[in-house]
C-alpha cells in the first residue's frame, strides 16, 4: 500500500509538471512568390436577345392557319399565320349595295358609249360629245372595279390582283428565330389601332445578337466603365465560357431589398456552334483592378497593428523562431495580397498554426 501510495504521488507530480510546461506551437511555412492579383465582382442577370419584335396583325378576324411554331427560323416576309375575316354585316351590306349601284351605272354608261360610238362613226355627233361619253364610260368602269374590290376586302380581306400582299397573311418583319407563338387556330385577334396594342401573333428575335442584362450594387458601379470586358457564365451551360463587352450602365438606380442597384447591359459574343436560349440565367465576372507579376503572399500571413501591417519571417527551423517585420501592402483579392515593399522573393514567412490531431477513440461494441 505504501508503494502504491508513493507511485500515485510521483505520478501526480509528473502529471502537474507536464501540464505546467509551455506548449510549443508549430506553424506552416509560406514562401513569398511572384503572381497576379485580380479584384473581381460578379453581377447576376440573364441573357436575352437585343431586340424582341412582336408581330401584330393588320386586320381583325379569326386565325385560320398557323404555319410556324416556336423555335423555327424565319426570314423577313415569311408568312407566320393566316387570318379569316369575319365581316361586319352593316359594312358588308353597304359594300354589296355599292357594287349593285356601280353595276347599274356602268351598264347605262356602256349603252351610252356604244350608241355614241356608232353615231360618231356615222358623223352624227361631234368628237367632243363622244369623248365626254367615253370618259363617263371609263369612270363608271373604274368605279365598278373599285366597288368589287371593296366588297372582296370586306368579305375576305383580299383583292384579286394583290393576293400575295393580303392583310390576311401575317408576315415576319425581321429575320430571326420565333421565340413564342401565343395564338392557336380559332383564336380571335384584333388589329393594332389607337386604342388597342393588338393581339400578338408571334415574337421574333435575332438569336445571334444577345445581351447580358444584370444589376450591380452602388458600391461597385462607380468602378466600371463602358467598354470593359466581362466573362459570362451561363447557369445551364457551366462548361461554356463567353466574353462580353459592357455597353450600358443605367444613370438611375433602383432600390431592391434596401440596396440601390443599377442596371447594366453587355453585348455577348456567342460562338457559332453554341445555341443560347433567351432567358438563361447568367453571371458576369468583372475585373475591377489587376496587378501582374507582383510579390504576393496569403492574406492570412498579415498581422495588423492599427494602420500598419506586419509579417513574421522565419529565422530558425528547429525550434521555429520568427522575426517581426513591417511591410507595405497593396491590392488584395481576399485570398492573396500584394506586398509592395519589405519582402523579397523566396522569403519564408509564418503561416497558419499547425494543430495536432487528437487520437481517435474507438468504441467497442458490446455483443
Q: 262-285, pLDDT tens digit by residue?
A: 999 999 998 888 888 888 899 998
What secondary structure letter does DSSP report for 29? E
Q: What is the CATH number of domain 54-84+168-205?
A: 2.40.50.100
In the block, cell 395564338 appears at: 183
- Show Cβ contacts of residue 173 under 8 Å, excluding neighbours closer than 6 positions: 53, 55, 76, 204
Rounded to the nearest angstrom, the gap between the alpha carbon of residue 258 and the centroid of all alpha carbons in its chain is: 25
Instruction: Give 46-105 pLDDT, tens digit per residue.
Output: 999 988 899 998 888 888 889 999 889 999 989 999 888 776 667 767 777 888 888 888
- What does the radius of gyration of the chain's CA atoms come to, in whole angstroms? 43
Question: CATH 1.10.287 in the chain, residues?
Answer: 89-156
In angstroms, rounded to a whole number, what is the distance separating the alpha carbons of residues 48 and 181?
Answer: 17
In angstroms, rounded to a whole number, what is the distance separating the alpha carbons of residues 367 and 354?
Answer: 39
Question: CATH 2.40.30.170 in the chain, residues?
Answer: 40-50+207-289
- Show Cβ contacts of residue 209 under 8 Å, excluding neighbours closer than 6 positions: 49, 50, 51, 267
pTM score of the predicted model: 0.62
Q: What is the mean pLDDT of residues 285-309?
A: 84
Question: CATH 2.40.420.20 in the chain, residues?
Answer: 26-39+292-354
In this model, does residue 136 exceed pLDDT 90?
no
Which fold is adopted by the domain 89-156? Answer: Helix Hairpins (1.10.287)
Question: CATH 2.40.50.100 in the chain, residues?
Answer: 54-84+168-205
By the 8 A CB rule, do 244 and 282 touch? no
In angstroms, rounded to a whole number, what is the distance separating the alpha carbons of residues 173 and 176?
Answer: 9
Q: What is the CATH number of domain 26-39+292-354?
A: 2.40.420.20
In angstroms, rounded to a whole number, what is the distance separating the alpha carbons of residues 229 and 178?
Answer: 30
Q: Is CATH 3.40.605.10 the classification given to domain 40-50+207-289?
A: no
Amino acid at each position: 500500500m505504501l508503494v502504491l501510495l508513493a507511485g500515485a504521488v510521483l505520478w501526480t507530480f509528473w502529471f502537474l509538471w507536464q501540464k505546467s510546461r509551455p506548449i510549443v506551437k508549430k506553424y506552416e511555412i509560406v514562401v513569398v512568390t511572384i503572381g497576379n492579383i485580380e479584384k473581381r465582382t460578379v453581377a447576376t442577370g440573364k441573357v436575352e436577345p437585343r431586340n424582341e419584335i412582336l408581330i401584330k396583325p393588320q386586320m381583325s378576324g379569326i386565325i385560320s392557319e398557323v404555319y410556324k411554331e416556336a423555335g423555327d427560323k424565319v426570314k423577313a416576309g415569311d408568312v407566320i399565320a393566316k387570318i379569316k375575316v369575319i365581316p361586319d354585316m352593316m359594312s358588308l351590306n353597304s359594300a354589296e349595295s355599292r357594287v349593285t349601284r356601280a353595276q347599274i351605272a356602268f351598264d347605262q354608261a356602256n349603252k351610252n358609249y356604244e350608241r355614241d360610238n356608232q353615231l360618231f362613226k356615222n358623223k352624227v355627233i361631234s368628237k367632243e360629245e363622244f369623248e365626254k361619253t367615253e370618259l363617263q364610260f371609263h369612270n363608271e368602269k373604274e368605279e365598278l372595279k373599285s366597288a368589287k374590290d371593296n366588297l372582296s376586302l370586306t368579305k375576305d380581306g383580299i383583292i384579286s390582283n394583290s393576293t400575295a400582299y393580303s392583310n390576311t397573311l401575317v408576315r415576319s418583319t425581321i429575320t430571326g428565330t420565333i421565340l413564342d407563338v401565343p395564338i392557336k387556330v380559332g383564336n380571335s385577334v384584333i388589329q393594332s389601332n389607337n386604342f388597342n396594342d393588338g393581339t400578338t401573333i408571334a415574337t421574333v428575335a435575332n438569336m445571334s445578337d444577345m445581351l447580358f442584362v444584370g444589376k450591380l450594387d452602388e458600391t461597385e458601379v462607380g468602378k466600371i466603365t463602358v467598354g470593359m470586358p466581362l466573362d459570362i457564365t451561363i447557369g445551364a451551360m457551366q462548361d461554356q465560357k463567353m466574353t462580353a463587352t459592357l455597353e450600358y450602365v443605367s444613370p438611375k438606380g433602383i432600390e431592391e431589398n434596401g440596396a440601390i442597384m443599377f442596371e447594366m447591359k453587355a453585348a455577348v459574343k456567342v460562338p457559332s456552334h453554341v445555341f443560347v436560349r433567351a432567358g438563361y440565367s447568367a453571371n458576369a465576372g468583372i475585373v475591377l483592378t489587376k496587378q501582374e507579376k507582383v510579390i504576393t503572399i496569403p492574406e492570412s500571413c498579415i498581422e495588423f497593428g492599427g494602420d500598419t501591417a506586419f509579417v513574421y519571417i522565419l529565422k530558425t527551423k528547429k525550434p521555429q523562431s520568427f522575426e517581426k517585420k513591417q511591410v507595405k501592402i497593396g491590392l488584395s483579392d481576399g485570398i492573396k495580397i500584394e506586398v509592395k515593399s519589405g519582402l523579397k522573393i523566396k522569403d519564408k514567412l509564418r503561416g497558419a498554426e499547425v494543430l495536432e490531431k487528437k487520437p481517435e477513440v474507438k468504441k467497442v461494441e458490446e455483443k
